[in-house]
Amino acid sequence: MSQANREHWNKTSERYQVAHDPQLSRAPKAWGSWSVPESEVQALGDLDGLRVLELGCGGGQWSGALADEGTAVIGLDLSERQLGAAQRFMRTRYPLVQAAAEHIPFRDGAFDVVFCDHGAMSWADPFVTVPEVARIVRPGGRLAFCETSPWVRVCYDDPSDLIGRVLVQPYFGLHRSDEGDGASTYGLPYGEWIRLFRRNGFEIEDLIELRPGEDAETTYWTIDPPDWPQRWPMESLWVVRRKP
């Protein structure tokens, strides 16, 4: 699936950046489709002196903002077109690596923090990526990632491309979603995430169900009613730590 996802992002990267970079660059250190500030949720914690990997960095808006602050960050992405966008947007130089999240080209325990915002943890199979992240994050290190919540997945109507108030998809068995042209995104029920973390030596520190402000806007979703994200959680921000 990684090759199909790579082709998808190479084909759509320019269109994606045109549509979404204005929002992403306006609030580069913010989570999810509604750009909830990291300063509010504190999912990453203090990064001073830590080794950080963004897993699926896209155009590098997050990584670039961290690099500008002096964080030792590396951006990894499957798509060379997305990495090209990150190179163009870069103000402070930091390393960019092209690789699949299923096969991360770093030694065991290389990072203190691994994070992604709808990046590789959504575009690669978590049954492969979670063990791989457990390998590269040091004992006591942190994984933080934002993903589409199961609430959205069960309320998403594919023919209309609309998230509404009616349950239209089954909850049990959530895993792979077809994005067309062989590309796939992934998500799990809450219990499956918890069991997957535990099997791979992670302790759950927090599950932040992101709730944007009433006046928040997004370039990503079509929803009905408009106050859907204030009433139900659209995105899950998981914060887990590898056991010492």
The enclosing H or E element of 54 equals strand 51-55
Phi, psi of 87 (to 5 degrees): -65, -40
Question: What is the residue range of 138's domain?
Answer: 2-242
CB within 8 Å of 199: residues ≥ 6 apart: none
> Whole-prediction pTM value?
0.96
Band (1; pLDDT cuts 50, 70, 90): low
The enclosing H or E element of 82 equals helix 80-89
d(CA 43, CA 240): 10
pLDDT at 150: 97
What integer is the mean pLDDT of 155-175?
93
| Number of structural domains in the chain | 1
Q: What is the CATH number of the domain that holds 13?
A: 3.40.50.150
- Phi/psi region, residue 184 (left: phi>0; alpha: psi -120 to 50; beta: rest), is beta
Check residue 168 and report its DSSP letter.
-
What tokens were used for 181? 């042209």
Band (224; pLDDT cuts 50, 70, 90): confident
What integer is the mean pLDDT of 88-97?
97
pLDDT at 35: 95
pLDDT at 222 over 90: no
The enclosing H or E element of 177 equals strand 176-180
Nearest in space to 120 (alpha carbons), one of 143, 100, 95? 100
Band (216; pLDDT cuts 50, 70, 90): confident
Average pLDDT, the chain: 96
pLDDT at 221: 86
What share of the chain has pLDDT > 90, as a percent? 91
